[in-house]
Every structure is written in structure tokens, then in C-alpha cells.
Structure 1
Amino acid sequence: MEKPRKSVRRKGQAATIADVAALAKVSPMTVSRVVNGQGKVRDTTRDRVMRAVRELDYTPNLAASSLAAAQHTRIALIYTNPSGAYLRELLVGLLRVASRTAIQLVIDYWDDPSAESERKAARAMARKVDGVILPPPLCDSRVAVNEFTRAGVPVVSIASDRFSEDISCVRIDDFRAGKELAEHLIEQGHTRIGFIRGRPDQNASARRYDGFQAALHDAGIDIDLSLVQQGDYTYRSGLKAAEKLLANRNPPSAIFASNDDMAAAVISVAHRRGLDVPRDLSVVGFDDTSAATTVWPELTTIHQPIASMANAAIEVLLRGIRRKDQSTRVLVDHVVPHRLVERDSVAGPPRRR
């Protein structure tokens, strides 16, 4: 990993947009355009700004004034079959905001994944709330998004690429994060790396895999499709995928699981097979939920600030709901900084040692 440059900020001070602008050598307005996903910015400039954002651990306050004006606003969080650890982090962020404002938080569980059921549930919910937050996997439901936007209800998706021009997004750069995590394994000497994909109907899952492939390509490592297994972000799917990967005639020396639940399952299978992690097998996860630190050894993973993303999602919604001019809709693609968290689940491959 590239060592971050030292910041000129005094210790203990929170980074400001001016600090980011100075480090990236751009104007504060350009930083604002990048973090809010508004306006046209060159890719090279965007990359430079996001590097500065990550380096300074900058978290923008998207709508502090809107938070103060949130009285009598009903916002719905709708979820269906997410990771339990992911959902807990999400609720922490939402309840933190709700506790300091007059937001009425409506939490609804959709247990029927069929398109018709989602359509009916969205129509019913649209009559009751002022805004909607859709976390995975509903963040990628075109049916739900279309129903809410048709009813004029603002929607913010969490952890999804922007697949619709009618909604705002709060997310990390899953491609870059997946690439960085794969590069970390390659730097340790691994060339035979297994990959467990997330749900096939989620954009974030595809982007993480794309980043993994890009890292291997850049390192001149051929992708072995026998080392790629499909999961669905559940612990059980991780068990099945890990069994298949480790039963390979030439098994991987490291496994990249697309979330922490599946990575925890990989460690369980490794232990059951008598393998030591990380001496015999390195394992990495993604999200940095509680699952990453409740297994042994603790997981190297990508920290996705889920609670902060939920907080930002409410701020984005409030900004749109409280706009005086409702004739135009301002949509936001807010990319939150992620970071690689190194713990004890990664070492060099056995043959290298």
C-alpha cells in the first residue's frame, strides 16, 4: 500500500473541504462537485480529489441545515434479506440521526422478492412517506425505484452504482476497493487467488469482481475461472463456495470473499479441513462489519462506513425534500471514502515462506 503523505492539519482537527482542495491542488468548488457527483470533472482530477479525500479521511456534511428542518418528515428504510451484520450497522446510522432530529423513521421489511409484490408494496409505501432509503439488495430493484419515482417520492440508494437517473446514491467506489484488496494479496506474493462473488443481481457485487479482475490483469496473472465461485452474501453460501474452492485439485493460497459473512464461512471451512489461517490460507472479506472481528483470526477487509452512509442518505433526502424550488430535482451521487483494514488473516503463500 502506498504510504499517505503527511497532512498539514493539526492533530485532532477534522479535515475541511479547503484541506482537500489544497492537497488535491484544485478549487473547493471542484471538490464539492466530485463528492456530490455533480457537474463534469475530468477523470484524472476526480481520482486526485478522491485520493485526497481518503488521505485526509474527509467526511462532508451534506446538509446540516436540512437536518435542523426535519420536523414531521417521514423517511422509510425498506429492507429484505440483507446480511444481519450489515443491517445492524445501517440501523445504527439511521437511529443516530433520528435521535437528534424530528424525523419519523419508518422501517419496513419486504419478505416477497417477486416483482409484483415489490410493485404493490412500493405503491402503498409511497402514499405514507416523504422519502425512501433502499439498502442492498433493494437498492438495485428497478421495479421499486420506478414506482417511487413515478409517485414523486425521493429515493436514495445505499451501496449501489447509479443505474437510474431518477435517484440519488450514497456509495463507496466498489471497483477501486476490490482492486486495492486484490492488490494487497498480490503484494503478499499470492498468484492463485480464489474469489467468491456476491449476489448476481447487485451492481456492487459486479464492481468488486471487476476490480479483482483488473488487479490480476495489471499484475500479469491469468484469471482461472475454476477459482471463481458464486455466493449470495450469506454465510451458508460462503460455506458452499469455500468447500468447492478448497476441493480444487490445485487450491488457491488466498480467497477473496465479497463480504465478511462469506469470508467468516471460508475460515470455518479452512479450520474444519485442518488448515491454518493465514499460514496455509489467506482470507479477506469486505464491509468491515462486526463479523470481521468475531472470527479468529480477525479479517483483513475493506472498511465501508455503513453507519455514516446511512447518515448521509438521510441528509441527501432532507436536502431534496426541503428544497424551496420543487420544479427541479437535484440528484446526488455521493462517493464515501473506504479504506483497507489489515488484520491477521493474510500472510504470504506457503511456498514463498
Structure 2
Amino acid sequence: MARRRQAVTIRHVAADAGVSLQTVSRVINNEPNVRPEMRDKVQASIDRLGYVPSIAAQRMSGSRSYLILALNDRERTIADWRARQGTDWVDQMLLGGMLECGEQGYRLIFELVDTHNDHVERELAAAIAALQPDGAILTPPHSDNPKIIRTLAHHGIPLARIGAQADAAGDDLPGTIVVTMDDEGGARIATRHLLELGHARIGFIAGPAEYALSARRVAGWEAELAAAGHAVDGLLAEGDFTYASGAKAARALLDRAGRPTAIIASNDQMALATADVARDLGLAIPDALSLVSFDNTPPVRFTRPALTAIDQPIAETTATAVRLLIATQRDGGMPTEPVLIPMGFEVRASTGPAPRAT
């Protein structure tokens, strides 16, 4: 029977290069305190032997796990997966996080936790004990949850909080990075686009209050309308990011006297619901109602008409969070101010000139 080929290990590399295991480990981990000629010598042995570093080898120094823990909301994530409605927040988060981790020699571990679980501290403590991550990424609404923030900080885990409020509980703790997409700026761009098309009554369907980003988006919409001299009274409705809530909010806006001629919805599901309500009411898009969405997930590109959308740079935001967490491990220090990632904007067929008054 043929013998199984022995795997190449860090010890083989050290023996081939004639250096210590610690030197090979420092080269693998791209640490700065290695002479260039020694780095080249070790790298030549790695290439010659076909050695592929493992996390176990990277952990030899004992100070790092080379794992980044990404936490997302359990209830909403599972509901979206089961509904199979094309929501791609998690996909984009994993894309940005995994690619950046791969570039840096790390691994991304994805975990779901329940914001409303009374035992969340115990749940997190178990994950930390098992994984010993070098850092954690918190997504909304966890990024503003004091219990989760303080539990991770208590265990000494550096945090990157995506979409967090600048003044949320936990900002006084060391090891906290805030990376956020420019939600207010995105709402401003969308509102300005509609104003330039001649719309004055621009409705807004907000997300739930537990998400800090919801208030920022409302603030951007209000600011642009106020700057243009237009009132917002009666033009704001709230949903919870689900299709059903979007339909309810859209009907409340479109059934009122002096209905809006344009609506901005805070996510794609609520925007798609708004489009369906408009059709039920006989309002053609964009002739009678212009519509803008947040997210820019695949469904809004293929509906008819395709929806104008604010594009959330989720992958770029997560990659930035990973990069900053790893930089704190390698170089020390971290940003003291929130890192703001600009939103994109895709104009499609769902927005047009404001209808003439009759």
C-alpha cells in the first residue's frame, strides 16, 4: 500500500533554511523585526518545499490567534435566509471580511447572536474561550448594544463597530473602532436628486429606531428638504426593514391628502413593497411617483422599472474594519475618530420629473 505523503510543516522549513522556529513564525506572520536577507532565505525555503502556513503555525508566538470574529443578529439573519428574498447584507459582509482576512493571513469566523437574549454574555464568553479571536466586528444593531460591547471589552477583545453611533455606550472603553457608512450623506444625495427633478413633497420610510443608522438617514433627508425650503410634516413613516412594514408605511403616505410625489425607502424590501402599493393605487412609476431605495441588492435591479438606489458599500466597510483591527495588533494604536465610508448612488428608471400639478 502506498504511503501517505508527509505534510510539510514549519519545522521542515526551519531545518531547510537553517533558522529557528521563531524566525520562521515571524516571517509567516509578516512581523517587522526580521532582517530582509533572513526573510528572503525563509521565503525561499517556503517556496521550495511548498509549505502552506496554518493557523496553528501562526499561533506559535502565543500572542495572536489570527482569527477575527464577526457577529451578526441571529433572528434577522435566519429570517432573511429562510425567506430567500435576495437580501445580501451577510454575503457582502463575508465578501469584504474574508477577502481582507485572507490578504492579511487571518481567518474570519462568522457567529450569530441574539440581541434580546438574557444570556448573551455567557454565549459570547463561550465563543471567546473557544476561538480566542484577535478582534471582533459588530454589525447593527449589536454595534450599539452596551451589553455586547462591554462583554467583549471585558475580555480584552478589540472591537470594530459597524454603523455605530459616535456617542453610544462603550465609546469610553479602550479598543473600540467605529466604522460607518455615510447614511446621512446617502439620504442627502437621494433627496437632492429628487429635488433636482422638481419634487417638493418627498416622503421617507425610515427603519426601526433600534438601528442608529435609521436616525442618520432621516436627518439627511430632513436637512436637504429644509435647505430647499420644503416642509417634512406628514411625509415621514416608519417600518422595520420588512416588506410588510414597507407596504403599511407606503399606504399611509400615499393615502394622505397632499400625498408625496416621491418616496425614499430605507431598504430594498420596503422599496419593493412601496412599488407594489403604488401599482395597487394606480400610480405609475416614475410618472406619478418616483422611488428611491437604500441597499441596491439584486432584486431592485431586475424589477420593472429598475429602482434608483443608494448603494451601501458593505464589503468595503467590513474590509476596512478588518484592516484596522489587524493594524492594531501589528502596529498598535487605533483611530480615535469614526471612519466614514461614502455611499454610492445608482440612478435607474424609477425616478423622473415631478408630475405637474392638476
TM-score by length of 1: 0.73
Corresponding residue to 2:341 among 316, 336, 343:
336
Partner of 1:281: 289
Instruction: Identify if the C-alpha distance between structure 1 residues 296 and 161 changes in structure 2 by more than 3 Å, giving closer, same or farther.
Output: farther
Deviation digits for residues 71-93 of structure 1, max 9, x if unmatched? Answer: 54111111111563222221221
Separation in structure 2 between the aligned mates of residue 181 and residue 140 of structure 1, nearest angstrom: 26
Corresponding residue to 1:215 among 212, 224, 229:
224
Instruction: Identify if the C-alpha distance between structure 1 residues 214 and 330 changes in structure 2 by more than 3 Å, giving closer, same or farther.
Output: closer
> Which SS does the other structure have where 2:97 is aligned?
helix
Separation in structure 2 between the aligned mates of residue 263 and residue 316 of structure 1, nearest angstrom: 34
Deviation digits for residues 22-81 of structure 1, max 9, x if unmatched? Answer: xxxxxxxxxxxxxxxxxxxxxxxxxxxxxxxxxxxxxxxxxxx99956954111111111
Work out whether 1:193 is the aligned partner of 2:196: no
Partner of 1:22: none
Partner of 1:73: 66
Structure 2 spans left out of the alignment, 5+ residues: 1-26, 32-54, 59-64, 81-86
Structure 1 spans left out of the alignment, 5+ residues: 1-64
Moved more, 287-296 or 185-194: 287-296
Deviation for aligned residue 1:199: 1.7
Deviation for aligned residue 1:302: 1.7
Q: Are 2:312 and 2:343, in contact at CA under 8 Å, matched by a contact in 1?
A: yes
Work out whether 1:297 is the aligned partner of 2:301: no
Deviation for aligned residue 1:352: 5.8
Q: Are 1:67 and 1:315, in contact at CA under 8 Å, matched by a contact in 2?
A: no
Separation in structure 2 between the aligned mates of residue 169 and residue 73 of structure 1, nearest angstrom: 21
Instruction: Identify if the C-alpha distance between structure 1 residues 68 and 349 changes in structure 2 by more than 3 Å, giving closer, same or farther.
Output: farther
> Which SS does the other structure have where 1:256 is aligned?
strand
- The 5-angstrom pairing of residues 44-63 of structure 1 reads none
Partner of 1:140: 144
Partner of 2:191: 182
Moved more, 131-140 or 207-216: 131-140
Highest RCO, 1 vs 2 (Cα 8 Å, sep ≥ 6)? 1
Corresponding residue to 1:203 among 203, 209, 212:
212
Work out whether 1:313 is the aligned partner of 2:327: no
Q: Are 2:98 and 2:107, in contact at CA under 8 Å, matched by a contact in 1?
A: no
- The 5-angstrom pairing of residues 102-251 of structure 1 reads 102-110=105-113, 112-114=114-116, 116-127=118-129, 128=131, 129-162=133-166, 163=168, 164-166=171-173, 167-224=176-233, 226-251=234-259
Q: Are 1:66 and 1:318, in contact at CA under 8 Å, matched by a contact in 2?
A: no
Separation in structure 2 between the aligned mates of residue 125 and residue 169 of structure 1, nearest angstrom: 22
Work out whether 1:88 is the aligned partner of 2:81: no
> Which SS does the other structure have where 1:322 is aligned?
helix
Deviation digits for residues 306-329 of structure 1, max 9, x if unmatched? Answer: 111111111111111233x5xx66
Partner of 2:354: 349
Deviation for aligned residue 1:332: 5.5
Amino acid at match of 2:251: E
Separation in structure 2 between the aligned mates of residue 66 and residue 117 of structure 1, nearest angstrom: 38
Separation in structure 2 between the aligned mates of residue 275 and residue 68 of structure 1, nearest angstrom: 60
> Which SS does the other structure have where 2:156 is aligned?
coil
Amino acid at match of 2:345: L
Identity across the alignment (%)? 32
TM-score by length of 2: 0.72
Q: Are 1:177 and 1:302, in contact at CA under 8 Å, matched by a contact in 2?
A: yes
Separation in structure 1 between the aligned mates of residue 192 and residue 229 of structure 2, nearest angstrom: 12
Deviation for aligned residue 1:117: 3.1
Q: Are 2:243 and 2:273, in contact at CA under 8 Å, matched by a contact in 1?
A: yes
Deviation for aligned residue 1:134: 1.0
Separation in structure 1 between the aligned mates of residue 271 and residue 280 of structure 2, nearest angstrom: 14
Partner of 1:13: none
Deviation digits for residues 237-282 of structure 1, max 9, x if unmatched? Answer: 2122112222223321111111222112211222233321111111
Q: Are 2:93 and 2:314, in contact at CA under 8 Å, matched by a contact in 1?
A: yes
Separation in structure 1 between the aligned mates of residue 271 and residue 30 of structure 2, nearest angstrom: 40
How many corresponding residue pairs?
A: 284
RMSD of the TM alignment (CA)? 2.5
Deviation for aligned residue 1:212: 0.6
Partner of 1:3: none
Q: Find runs of 4+ consecutive structure 1 residues off by over 4 angstroms.
A: 65-72, 328-332
Deviation for aligned residue 1:125: 2.8
Separation in structure 2 between the aligned mates of residue 85 and residue 238 of structure 1, nearest angstrom: 18
Separation in structure 1 between the aligned mates of residue 220 and residue 119 of structure 2, nearest angstrom: 34
Q: Are 1:66 and 1:322, in contact at CA under 8 Å, matched by a contact in 2?
A: no
Instruction: Identify if the C-alpha distance between structure 1 residues 198 and 331 changes in structure 2 by more than 3 Å, giving closer, same or farther.
Output: same
Instruction: Identify if the C-alpha distance between structure 1 residues 350 and 148 changes in structure 2 by more than 3 Å, giving closer, same or farther.
Output: same
